[in-house]
Structure 1
Amino acid sequence: MKGRKLPPLNALKAFEAVARNRSFSLAAEELCVTHSAVSHQIKQLEEWLDKKLFIRHSSTTSLTRDAEELFCLCTHFFNDLEKCVFELKNKASEVEIIIGASHSFMANWLIPRLEKLEIIYPNIHVKLMTCNDLKLLEKEKIDIFINSLNLDQTLPESLDKYILFPDNMGPICNRKTYNLDTINDVLNYPLLHTNSNKNAWNIWLDRSRLHSAHKSSERYFDSLNLMIEAAVSGLGIAIAPQILVEKEILNGRVIAPFGFIYCDYNFYAVVRKNSANSEVMNIVNWLQCDAKTTS
C-alpha cells in the first residue's frame, strides 16, 4: 500500500503560521521556536513543492499566488483538525456494560426503558445478553445479572445484589375459556409452566393454601412469552410475574382473575463487588430509581 504524498506536517504548520501572521518573527514566537527554525521549515517546504511561497520585503512578508492557494487549504485543514481534536479530547470515553437477563425480562421490562437510559448516560453503551446463569457474572462475561431470587438465597462472597422490585406472582388466562368463581377452580384446568421456573405454581399454591395434589394436567414451555401465548389461546392457566405481564393485561389479552401475591421472591440486579463506584453502579442505581417510579 502506498503512503500519502504529503510534505512534512511541521513545514505546513510553520507555513500556515507565517502566512497568517504575515511575519516570520511572529510565527516563530507563536510556535515557540527560533526565527531560523521557521525559515528552515519554509525552505524545506519550498524545495518539496519546487515553488517559491513568500516574498520578503523590508518590513513585511507577502504570499505568492501559489502560497495564497495553499494557505486557504491549510486554514481549512488546521481549523477542522483543531475542532476534531478538541471534541475528541473533551468527549467522555464510551463504556460498554453487558446486562444478562431472561428473554422475557428484557422484552417486557428492560428494552422499553433502554432509550431513556441511554439518553441519561450517552457514554455508556448497553449490550444485552440472554442468560439465566449467575456464573457468567462471576466469569466476567456480563457486568449486571438481573433475575428473580428468593429472599433466603445466598450469593458468592464476590457478588452484591440490589433489589429492583418484588416478584409478585399470580394466575393469568384468557377472558372466555374458564369458569373461575373461586381460587380453588384453577386446579380444575391445565396449569402452564415455564422451564426456567418449574416451581412457580407450587410456590403460589402453597402461599394461597391450596393443596397441589388435586392439580389437573400440566404443560411446560421454554419461555414466558410462549406460555403467555398458550394462555391466550386457551391451553391452560399460566402462572406469571406481575411485572412481566402488565402490558398483556392492559391490552386485554389476558386477565389476572385473583390478582398477584408476594411469594418471597424479588427481582435483583446482581453485580461483582469490584464494580462499586463505576459505570455499572450508575446503571444499577438508575434501574432502581426507575423501578420505584414505575412500579
Structure 2
Amino acid sequence: MTNILSASLLGWLRCFEAAARHCSFTQAARELCVTQGAVSQQVKQLEQWLDRPLFQRTPRALVLTPEGERLRQVVGESFQSIGSTLTQLRKPRDRQPVTLSCSPSFAMVWLTPRLGSFFRQHPDIGLRVYGEFHALDRARMLRDGTEAAVRFDPGHYPDLEARMFLEEWLLPVASPAYLAAHPALRSPGGLRAAMLLHDASPWDGASETHEWQCWLRHAGVTLPDVSDGQRFNLSQLAVNAALAGQGVAMGRTALVLDDLAAGRLVDLWGIHARAEAAYYIVHAHGHAAQVANVEAWLVAEGIAFDAARQQLLGSGPQTKGKPLSAHDGRASRLS
C-alpha cells in the first residue's frame, strides 16, 4: 500500500494533535513554538485534505467533531509510541544519569540526605535531581528529557505511570520560643489566623489555604479568616519561618520530623490530619531499568521513614485511630 504520510501531512497532524490535546490553537502554538495563525492554517489544510471538519470553532474553545476525536486518539497514541521508542533508541550504550525532577522542599529536606544510600546500592547509576514543581504530562516529560519525577499532589496522571511511595500527614508546628511567648497556644482554641504561615502553592490546582483548611476541618477548629497570615511559595519556607519564631506553620511530616525529633519545632497539639496529597514517583510507561531501581529505592526509603514517623508521632486517639502509615495496601499505580 502506498504511504500517504508526506512531510506536509505529518506537519498538519502534528499541529492537529497539539490543538486537539489543548482544545486551543493558542496553547498548541505555544507548545510548538510557532504562531497561532500557523497552527490554525495547518489544521485548516488538514481539514481541506480530508474534506471534512475536525473541530467546531466556538467563541470559547475548540470542540472536536466525532471524526476529530477519532483522529485525535489514533494520532495521540501513535506520537506517544514514536516518542517513547525514539527516547529509548537515542540513549548511548554507556548509561547516562537519570534525570529526576523533584518538588523543591522535598528534595532539600527528605531526598538529598538519603541519596548516599542510593549511590551505595547503585554505584553504576547516576542521578541528577532538579528542584521543580510544575505540573507534568507525558508530552512535557518527553520534551524536557525527564525520565522520572517526584511530586506532592493527589496523583492524577492519566497519561503517565505514578506510584505513591509515601503518604503525608499534616500537623501545626511552631518553635518552642514562639509557644512560650504565646501561652494561649497550649490549646487549639488559642490559634489565631494572623499566626498562620501558609504554603500558598502546595500543589498545582490547590488553593493558598488548602492545607490549613484540611487540618482545621479535621480538628474541628474554626477561624474567622483562614486567609490571614504570611504566605510562601514553598512549604520549606513556611517551616523556616516557624523555626525563626514567626508563627505557626502547617507541617508535613516528611519536612518537619527531624526538627520535631531535635526539639527545634513543637507538634502543638498532637492532632494529625491525613493530607489529601501524597508523594508519587511519576514516569512514562515502558521506563528504563534505571528508573525502576530509583522507584524501588524510594519505596524502600518510604517504608523506613514511615516506621520512624510512627515511632516519634505514634497513632494515638488524636489521629482518630488512623495509623501514620503509607503502606497499608493502598499504594497504587495509576495509568
What TM-score do the two structures reach when normalised by structure 1?
0.62
C-alpha separation in 2, matches of 1:140 and 1:156: 19
Q: Which runs of 5+ in 1 are unaligned?
A: 1-91
Question: 1:289 deviation in Å?
Answer: 1.1
- Residue 131 of structure 2 corresponds to residue 121 of structure 1: no
Matching of residue 267 in structure 1 with residue 279 in structure 2? yes
* Aligned residue in 1 for 2:195: 190
| Per-residue deviation, 1:130 | 1.0
Deviation at 1:214, TM superposition (A): 4.7
Alignment identity in percent?
20
The answer on whether the counterparts of 2:173 and 2:268 sit within 8 Å (CA) in structure 1 is: yes
Note if 1:144 corresponds to 2:145. no
Shift in Å at residue 188 of structure 1? Answer: 5.5
Contact 2:198/2:231 (CA < 8 Å) preserved in 1?
A: yes
Structure 1 Cα separation of the partners of residues 133 and 259 of structure 2: 23
Match of 1:220 in 2: 231
Residue 69 of structure 1: aligned partner:
none
Give the 5 Å matches for 1:9-88.
none
Counterpart amino acid of residue 182 in structure 1: S
* Amino acid aligned to 1:229: N
Shift of 1:164: 1.2
Residues 260-284 of structure 1 show CA distances to partners (whole Å, capped at 9, x for unaligned) of 3213321111111121x52101110
Local SS of the residue matching 2:220? coil
Once residues 139 and 252 of structure 1 are traced to their aligned partners in structure 2, the CA distance between those partners, rounded to angstroms, is 44
Give the aligned partner of residue 102 of structure 2: 101
Match of 2:216 in 1: 205
SS for the counterpart of 1:167 is strand
Query: TM-score, structure 2 length as denominator?
Result: 0.55
**Structure 2: unaligned runs, 5 residues or longer:** 1-92, 203-207, 307-335
Where 1:274 maps in the other structure, the secondary structure is coil
The 1:93/1:242 distance shift into structure 2, 3 A limit, reads same
Alignment partners' CA distance in 1, 2:190 and 2:165: 33
Report the residue type matching 2:267 in the other structure. Answer: A
Partner Cα separation in structure 1 for residue 276 and residue 227 of structure 2: 25
User: What amino acid is the match of 1:255?
Assistant: V
What is the match of residue 154 of structure 1? Answer: 156
How far 1:121 sits from its partner (Å)? 1.0
In 2, distance between residues paired with 1:134 and 1:142?
Answer: 13
Aligned 1:244-263 pairs, distance under 5 A: 244-259=255-270, 260-263=272-275
Instruction: Tell me the CA shift for residue 210 of structure 1.
Output: 2.3
Following the alignment from structure 2 to structure 1, what is the Cα–Cα distance between the partners of residues 225 and 231? Answer: 18
Count the aligned residue pairs.
Answer: 200
- SS of aligned partner of 1:99: strand
User: Is the contact between residue 168 and residue 265 of structure 1 (CA under 8 Å) also seen in structure 2?
Assistant: no
**Taking structure 1 as reference, are residues 294 and 263 closer, same or farther at Cα in structure 2, changes over 3 Å only?**
closer
1:189 Cα deviation from its structure 2 partner = 4.5
Partner of residue 243, structure 1:
254
| CA displacement, residues 95-142 of structure 1 (integer Å, 9 cap, x when unaligned) | 311111122111111111111101111111000111112334353432
1:294 aligns with 2:294: no
Q: Deviations over 1:26-78 (max 9, x none)?
A: xxxxxxxxxxxxxxxxxxxxxxxxxxxxxxxxxxxxxxxxxxxxxxxxxxxxx
| Whole-angstrom distance in 2 between the partners of 1:123 and 1:134 | 30
Aligned to 1:42: none
Q: Secondary structure at the match of 2:240?
A: helix
Tell me which structure has the larger Cα radius of gyration: 1
Q: Alpha carbons of 1:203 and 1:117: their partners in 2 closer, same or farther (altered >3 Å)?
A: same
Question: Residue type matched to 2:171 in 1?
Answer: G
Contact preservation (8 Å) 1:190, 1:216: no
Amino acid paired to 2:237: L
CA contact (8 A) 2:236 2:255 kept: no
